[in-house]
Amino acid sequence: MNAKINPPGYVSPVGQPLDRVDGYLKVTGQARYAGEYPKAGLLHGSVVSSSVASGRVLRIDASQALQVKGVVAVIDHTNRPQIASYDKDYEDADSAEGSPFRPLYNDRVLYSGQPLALVVADTLELARHAGSLVRIEYETDAHQTDLTAVQGTAHTAPAETPQPRGDFKGAFASAAFKVDAHYSTPNEHHNPMEPHASTVFYKDDGSLQIHEKTQGTQNCQSYVQKVFGLDKEKVQVLAAYVGGAFGSGLRPQYQLPLAVMAALKLQRSVRVTLTRQQMFTFGYRPHTLQHLRLGADEKGRLVAVGHEVIGQTSRFEDFTEHVVEWSGMLYQCDNVQLSYKLAPLDVYTPLDMRAPGAASGMVGLESALDELACATGIDPVQLRLINFAERNGNEDKPYSRKELRACYEQGAERFGWSQRNPEPRSMRRGRQLVGWGMAGGVWEAMQNPASAKARIDSEGKITVSSATTDIGTGTYTVMTQIAAEAAGAPVEDVTFLLGDSSLPTAPLQGGSFTVSSVGTAVQQACRALRAKLLDALRMAHPEFAVVDMEQVGFGDGSLHIEDQTFRYADIVRMSSHDMLEVQVDAKPDEKRDGYATATHSAMFVEVLVDEDLGTVRVNRVVNAVAAGRVVNPKTARSQVLGGVVWGISQALHEHSQTDHGLGRVMNHNLSEYHVPVNPDIGEIDVVFVEEHDNIVNDLGSKGVGEIGIVGMAAAIANAVYHATGKRVRDFPITLDKVL
């Protein structure tokens, strides 16, 4: 038997810039989001929020609200249905350490904006109006929401930080060049275009079908089941389309239990949507205070790296993220000291936000590296090459693959970095000072267990499913491509289903691990399906009994054995079944064990700073990314573009500003919470450098959801310094700080 022959002209769908398979439904408005599912008789809930930051509710007077015609109920802690009291029942797949927030549990007020009542009415407008008539009397306690005021109270975060190595103190003291600087990053809120919403369909048998804005349908299912003591089969959570989440949908948010409470109490279908203002009343990227100390020898080699961070958290949970770890791994250094502490405040618990920890911590590290470049007189790219780490020093493991040198090289080349005059204020264009800055980026390449099911019918149509979500990242599309390649079928024959808690188990969509986790399950399921097709063929054609997959060509929805072709549809018909189906549970391969796995990047930025006004425009960005095999260059580029834009936003705009007197975020809307708009964004060039990683997973793919933002804010700050000679260490870089 000859070796396999793939059909002539076969090109794998993986690596193709396929348009989003869900694009048509989205641009034509047919894709429904959680708050858009219609139903006759659906009730609408509006949340009444606390106006104080700490204390107790003495009385909630809903009498006026209840007089409004069309108002069905006002639910608060005194009349809610039975809910769990035990902390564990409120924990979810992304919980922080501590006691999770329990909506409408008792009279305690833990933060300003806390939901205290839900008004349920026939229409949203009535519910909101009636909500304005609810009177709440409080007994207020003193509150503290200002991290800078309580630094001394910080305790060590429960998350493990890498152990110190070498002798940081001694090495730093005797270093030829030193940087000793403090940086800060502010609170930031996710602000996805789609605000959080839950539509709970109450069925006659008491079961709930919930359309939810979430990054994890099964996470929400198990939360609802535990909090309300329901049978798992009675709760189905769906998220067919999600209008951006960025981490805000990792944990079940309070509109979900509130909507379920109302549905159970009233035995009616209920929808609760949050207002844009209320999008500022739960998780966010936390304010950090960072102290960086870098020491280098005469040749610019790092001899000491110290990174100490204090981040804010709530009084009820210790939110932790990886802020300082990157400083122990991105560069080669033998004397490293990292510390990460938390200070509790009267605020809601922070939450993962795109590249949680790295997006903040790398601001400090990559700004400090630039300061070291200035101190040593070494070009910033050169300095990074001098300190290139072949191994991850935190884990003392080699990288499965790390094409960061190629990122520096190709990024610099595309940008024209060699033309840079290192002298600050040396480049200008009319009134504009021109600054060129760069930074490096790093993010973990994680993988989690995931399951997938693949089925083929007698028309040859393949349906692959897993309970993951597509938060705008392109999951529908890339899974279709992975499935098509592994099954050996054209993408037109493949449909991928997701966003349903009843589908095979999938992890939360986050951490840039969906392609590696769910993609691996999809790949394995579709390979198994192809093997099953061959089995079925061998049953029907005993002359092929000894043929194995190595000898079979595929790719066009057929098996090719020597000069014979068998269409999948025909094979299914040959079998005694009307369809063939397989389900697999995939987990990270053991071959990863000896290695550190990460994505890397290098970004180059040109800013124009108006000398008189201090305004900063990011005119040009090149971001070169090494993330293994790129499944879809179009959706992957969109991911990095989004990350870069958010990096610009982080550097120059975003800041959830708290009035510490009131303990409340004041700019809780999209006019005062600044994000860039189209004219703020210049040219963005995304480069994917070649990286062949056969250790990370069988796809060789690492995920690109987060790497695009990491390092961007520092690269911009470094460019601003190069333009102006002014080092801004307190983010965001607003014009008052530049002038």
- Give how far Cα 604 sits from Cα of 369, 442, 601, 619, 684, Å: 14, 15, 10, 11, 10
Q: How far is the CB of 279 from ligand MOS (least distance, A)?
A: 15
What are the residue ranges of helices labelled H in 9-119?
A: 23-27, 63-67
Give me 685's structure tokens. 């060039």
Nearer to ligand MOS, 14 or 355 (CB): 355
Nearer to ligand MOS, 351 or 389 (CB): 351
Q: How far is the CB of 535 from ligand MOS (least distance, A)?
A: 39
Tell me: cis bond preceding 164? Omega within 30 of 0 counts: no
Where does this chain bind ligand MOS (CB under 6 A)?
A: 215, 246-247, 250, 352-354, 356, 510-511
Nearer to ligand MOS, 215 or 718 (CB): 215
Helix, strand or coil, per DSSP, at residue 643: helix
DSSP 3-state percent helix, strand, coil across the chain (nearest 5) = 30, 25, 45
194: annotated active-site residue: no
- Give how far Cα 706 sits from Cα of 307, 416, 436, 543, Å: 22, 26, 23, 51
Strand ranges in 321-366 using DSSP code E only, listed in sequence order: 336-345
CA–CA dist 470, 216 (Å, integer): 10
* Residue 14 near residue 242 (C-beta atoms within 8 A): no
**CA-closest candidate to residue 633, choices 690, 683, 678, 682:** 690
The torsion angles phi and psi of 309, rounded to 5 degrees, stand at -130, 140
The torsion angles phi and psi of 202, rounded to 5 degrees, stand at -90, 120
Nearer to ligand MOS, 448 or 524 (CB): 448
- Angle made by CA atoms 285, 291, 296, in degrees to the nearest 5: 130
Nearer to ligand MOS, 215 or 701 (CB): 215
**CA-closest candidate to residue 526, choices 566, 568, 565:** 568
**CA-closest candidate to residue 306, choices 468, 171, 416, 184:** 171
- Give how far Cα 680 sits from Cα of 62, 602, 653, 675, Å: 46, 22, 11, 9
**CA-closest candidate to residue 592, choices 438, 401, 362:** 401
The torsion angles phi and psi of 145, rounded to 5 degrees, stand at -125, 5
Q: How far is the CB of 605 from ligand MOS (least distance, A)?
A: 23
CA–CA dist 242, 246 (Å, integer): 11
Give the DSSP H/E element, type plus range, for residue 619. Answer: strand 616-626
Helix, strand or coil, per DSSP, at residue 686: strand
CA–CA dist 710, 50 (Å, integer): 35
Cβ atoms within 10 Å, residue 576: 8
Q: How far is the CB of 499 from ligand MOS (least distance, A)?
A: 15
Nearer to ligand MOS, 186 or 511 (CB): 511
Cross-sheet strand order for the sheet of 462-465: 494-497, 462-465, 450-457, 579-586
Nearer to ligand MOS, 352 or 379 (CB): 352
Alpha-carbon 450 to chain mean position: 18
* Residue 454 near residue 529 (C-beta atoms within 8 A): yes
Q: How far is the CB of 358 from ligand MOS (least distance, A)?
A: 10
Q: Which residue has the tokens 């996805």?
A: 192
Helix axis angle, 475-487 to 514-540, nearest 10°: 30
CA–CA dist 257, 235 (Å, integer): 12
Nearer to ligand MOS, 358 or 717 (CB): 358
CA–CA dist 609, 637 (Å, integer): 27
Give me 646's structure tokens. 């958010």
CA–CA dist 562, 549 (Å, integer): 12
Strand ranges in 131-280 using DSSP code E only, listed in sequence order: 135-140, 155-156, 177-185, 197-202, 208-212, 235-238, 270-273
Q: Which residue has the tokens 């392109």?
A: 474
Helix, strand or coil, per DSSP, at residue 461: coil
Nearer to ligand MOS, 511 or 553 (CB): 511
Nearer to ligand MOS, 97 or 680 (CB): 97
Q: How far is the CB of 36 from ligand MOS (least distance, A)?
A: 22
Nearer to ligand MOS, 437 or 510 (CB): 510
Nearer to ligand MOS, 285 or 420 (CB): 285
Nearer to ligand MOS, 243 or 511 (CB): 511
CA–CA dist 732, 438 (Å, integer): 17
Q: Which residue is nearest to ligand MOS (CB)?
A: 510
- Angle made by CA atoms 621, 623, 624, in degrees to the nearest 5: 150
Give me 258's structure tokens. 């509130």
Question: Would you please indicate which residues are annotated as catalytic (active-site) residues?
Answer: 706
